[in-house]
């Protein structure tokens, strides 16, 4: 059987992404339904188990349930868990820290699809993995925390499963943060990194300086 493969690029319409955004979401939330739909079409089939360890407002869960997949989410912030449950009543939503993924999820996962909270290398001291609270977070610690999450994500995959991470490089006008490339290095260290998919916006989007779907398998 030919291994499933993600298409080489996806086009996302800014107007559509903005229209889909939950009213409680801030301006940086840009995880589009069309993106989720394409990944599920390419890498899963009905009945497969899909996990989003940074479930947010439930976009992955909502689309997965609509397409006949079993949806599981992990979300740190209680109010967002409630929104995700409303958005996807069929999904299982765990309130918790993504770094505890292996203790929250026991079933084999066919696809982990997520977009982590972003952090810039300079001028961004809040902790993205603690709901953007605190003032002493560092970019190095943030990358280490992502390493913990994605290491566990690769560890719960069913045979033939994939981890897909939507992540962008960031240019805030004063500094370029190679976040996508740093996450790619983490995934390549932990698993088998596959060719990436380019996410092409029809209009410029905030401070994104190259948007990607990074794809990995367990070794």
Within 10 A of 202 (CB to CB), how many other CB atoms are there? 12
Within 10 A of 95 (CB to CB), how many other CB atoms are there? 17
Share of the chain above pLDDT 70, in %: 97
pLDDT in tens, 122-150: 877 778 878 777 767 899 999 999 999 99
**Mean pLDDT over each residue of the chain, to the nearest integer:** 93
Residue 28 has pLDDT above 70, yes or no: no
Residue 167 has pLDDT above 70, yes or no: yes
Query: Domain 9-217: what homologous superfamily?
Result: Vaccinia Virus protein VP39 (3.40.50.150)
Q: Is the pTM of this model over 0.85?
A: yes
- Give the model's pLDDT for residue 136: 74
Higher-pLDDT residue of 112 and 29 is 112
Within 10 A of 101 (CB to CB), how many other CB atoms are there? 23
Higher-pLDDT residue of 176 and 24 is 176
Least confident interval from 24-28, 159-163, 189-193: 24-28
d(CA 187, CA 101): 16
pLDDT in tens, 90-112: 999 999 999 999 999 989 999 99
pLDDT in tens, 35-47: 999 999 999 999 9
Higher-pLDDT residue of 184 and 2 is 184
- Decide if 216 contacts 162 (C-beta within 8 A): yes
The full set of domain ranges for the chain reads: 9-217
- Decide if 216 contacts 192 (C-beta within 8 A): yes
């Amino acid at each position: 059987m030919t291994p499933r493969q993600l298409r080489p690029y996806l086009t996302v319409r800014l107007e559509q992404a903005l229209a889909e955004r939950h009213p409680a979401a801030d301006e940086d939330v840009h995880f589009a339904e069309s993106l989720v739909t394409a990944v599920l079409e390419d890498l899963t089939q009905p009945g497969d188990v899909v996990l989003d360890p940074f479930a947010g407002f439930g976009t992955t869960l909502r689309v997965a349930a609509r397409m006949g997949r079993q949806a599981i989410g992990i979300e740190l912030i209680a109010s967002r868990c409630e929104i995700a449950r409303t958005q996807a009543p069929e999904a299982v939503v765990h309130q918790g820290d993504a770094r505890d993924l292996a203790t929250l999820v026991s079933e084999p996962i066919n696809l982990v699809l997520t977009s982590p909270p972003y952090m810039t290398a300079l001028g961004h001291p809040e902790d993205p993995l603690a709901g953007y609270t605190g003032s002493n977070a560092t970019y190095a610690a943030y990358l280490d925390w992502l390493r913990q999450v994605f290491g566990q994500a690769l560890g719960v995959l069913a045979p033939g499963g994939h981890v897909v991470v939507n992540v962008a490089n960031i240019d805030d006008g004063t500094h370029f943060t190679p976040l996508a490339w740093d996450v790619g290095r983490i995934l390549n260290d932990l698993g088998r990194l596959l060719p990436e998919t380019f996410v092409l916006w029809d209009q410029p989007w905030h401070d994104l300086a190259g948007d990607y779907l990074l794809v990995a398998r367990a070794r």
